[in-house]
Amino acid sequence: MEHLQSLFERQQSMLRAIPTASERRDQLQDLWNAVLAHEGALIEALEADLGKPREEVHLQEIYPLKAEIQIARRHLRGWMAPRPVDTGLAMLGTRSFVQANPKGHMLIISPWNFPVILTLRPLVSALAAGNRVIVKPSEHTPETSKVLAAIVSRALPEEQVAVVQGGPEVSAFLTFLPFQHICFTGGTNIGKKVMKAAADNLASVTLELGGKSPAVMDATAHLADATRRMAWGKCLNNGQVCIAPDYALVEESISEPFITAMKARFAEMYGDEEATQLTSTQRSHIVNDHHFQRIVGLIEEAVAKGANVAHGGTWDKTTRRIAPTILENVTLDMKVMQEEIFGPVLPVMTWREPREVQRIVRANPHPLAMYFFSKNDTQIAEWMRTIPAGTTGINEVVLHVANPNLPFGGIQTSGMGRTGGLAGFEAFSNMRSVLKQTSRFNLLPLTFPPFNGLSLSLARVVQRWL
């Protein structure tokens, strides 16, 4: 690990050289130019690692990155400028503002499910904020990680940003180095270890984790539109999405029409026959044997406990493909209702009273996302008030993450901190509070000792007008 220590120290020695707004904008443009230069290599790498269709690469990995870079370059000078805040009567003669400074030295540990956007999006925020960065991409997508390293080395000097390869031991070593900030995207258990390691250096953290994101549907929902979005969101990247609808909570009166409509949507997207849906190249494959067997195990355990396979339930170990699967009659004691699925399996539970939705969702830790399909705005507002979640989609799934103006992140076990756009810039900056004396006349000297009646009278006057 000596080379990692040396790299860390080289970057650390350069922290006083803070890039200007123009330099940061140039860095972001250079990064985008390097992505374009390696576009073909990225498509090939993602096909090799995940079986991603070319269209998904553009729509889910490359286009969102372009939007993120454009937003940052367009607004960077405004983000960096001092932001005035109200000072108040008690501070007469002063003005106050907030100044964004770089946190300094950052570590980004990224996942395998969207290895381009979930690596480079936080890097965009880190560069916009003026930081130096070490990036550790996932070892589970080795071909894509190689291309990411080539992109970054083409765009930026190693003293500014460096990509390092390796397994869990490399990630563990890096987390114990005294970075100022660590951004980790991955599972909750590893996130806890990252946070513990960061605590030794009092480093701040951004954790994008996961959880079981429910999709709630009532009888007022537009069934055709809702199931089309549900089928897409559930099978996007073959279900390997941290904000995919993990399970469905459907009002009992529409449960049968819901399942019938879901079957029709799967047929529209992936072929009329279930065998065709299994082999469809319109979906990615499961990333590795471990995760494939884990998902199969969830299906088998649920069936053994009484769940019914309403659709799908087939798989091919050789290609690591699992057909879009719907499970009925699931219960909260089944692992498929306790663990994040991260695959194309949709358990369906029914409810009669809105309070049942709260009970079921609260049986698990706070989700990263929650989805509502309903025309009843009052009921949606009540669920949002009483059920915590990191993010929410109404009559839509997943799409909110594509808007760089919306802060993205979890709550408690599904994560902490926010990324994307201005929120990402602020998360990776020290938002420095500044108060400046602007006039020789001010009220503060009247509060200096020795105290007298005038001091108390002044305090009462100011208190009355605050």
Per-residue pLDDT tens over the stretch 119-143 = 999 999 999 999 999 999 999 999 9
DSSP class of 400: G
Active site residue 242: yes
- Residues 223, 258: contact at Cβ < 8 Å? yes
pLDDT for the residue numbered 449? 81
Please tell me the least confidently modeled range out of 124-138, 376-390, 414-428, 447-461.
447-461
CATH of 2-209+415-430, one of 3.40.605.10, 3.40.640.10, 3.40.50.720, 3.90.1150.110: 3.40.605.10
Whole-number Å distance between alpha carbons of 295 and 80: 45
Residue 443 has pLDDT above 90, yes or no: no
Q: pTM of the entire structure?
A: 0.94
**Residue 184, H or E segment:** strand 181-185
pLDDT for the residue numbered 457? 76
The one-letter amino acid code at 300 reads: E
pLDDT for the residue numbered 433? 97
Give pLDDT tens digits for 36-90.
Answer: 999 999 999 999 999 999 999 999 999 999 999 999 999 999 999 999 999 877 7
Outline where DSSP puts E strands in 406-449.
Answer: 415-416, 429-437
- What rounded mean pLDDT belongs to the chain? 95
Give pLDDT tens digits for 384-395.
Answer: 999 999 999 999
All CATH 3.40.605.10 domain ranges in the chain, comma separated: 2-209+415-430
User: Token pair of 98, please?
Assistant: 């907030």
- Residues 357, 331: contact at Cβ < 8 Å? no
How is 74-103 classified by DSSP, letter by letter?
HHHHHHHS-EEE---GGGTTEEEEEEEEE-
Q: What angle do CA 229, 230, 236 make, to 5 degrees?
A: 85
Instruction: For tokens 């979906």, name the residue.
Output: 283
pLDDT for the residue numbered 444? 72
Q: What is the mean pLDDT of residues 445-460?
A: 74
Whole-number Å distance between alpha carbons of 246 and 234: 7
| From 47, 56, 68, 208, active-site residue | 208
- Residues 228, 265: contact at Cβ < 8 Å? yes
Residue 101 has pLDDT above 80, yes or no: yes
Give pLDDT tens digits for 2-28.
Answer: 999 999 999 999 999 999 999 999 999
Percent of the chain topping pLDDT 90: 90
- Residues 345, 327: contact at Cβ < 8 Å? yes
pLDDT for the residue numbered 465? 64
Burial level of 349, CB count in 10 A (0-12/13-18/19+)? buried
Give pLDDT tens digits for 141-185.
Answer: 999 999 999 999 999 999 999 999 999 999 999 999 999 999 999
All CATH 3.40.309.10 domain ranges in the chain, comma separated: 214-402
- Residues 106, 133: contact at Cβ < 8 Å? yes
Whole-number Å distance between alpha carbons of 283 and 178: 41
Question: Phi, psi (5° rounding) for residue 456?
Answer: -70, -40
pLDDT for the residue numbered 160? 97
Active site residue 235: no
User: Token pair of 359, please?
Assistant: 């009970």
User: Would you mind telling me the total number of residues written for the chain in this entry?
Assistant: 466
- Residues 348, 309: contact at Cβ < 8 Å? no
Instruction: For tokens 């019914």, name the residue.
Output: 308
pLDDT for the residue numbered 466? 60
Instruction: For tokens 């706070």, name the residue.
Output: 366
Residue 201 has pLDDT above 80, yes or no: yes
Q: What is the mean pLDDT of residues 290-302?
A: 98
pLDDT for the residue numbered 38? 98
The strands making up 94-102's β-sheet, listed across from edge to edge, are: 83-85, 94-102, 429-437
Residue 435's nearest CA partner among 98, 177, 101, 157 is 98
For CA atoms 46, 317, 349, 264, the dihedral sign is positive
| From 47, 242, 274, 426, active-site residue | 242
User: Token pair of 289, please?
Assistant: 């044997």
CATH of 214-402, one of 3.40.309.10, 3.40.50.1220, 3.30.300.30, 3.40.50.300: 3.40.309.10
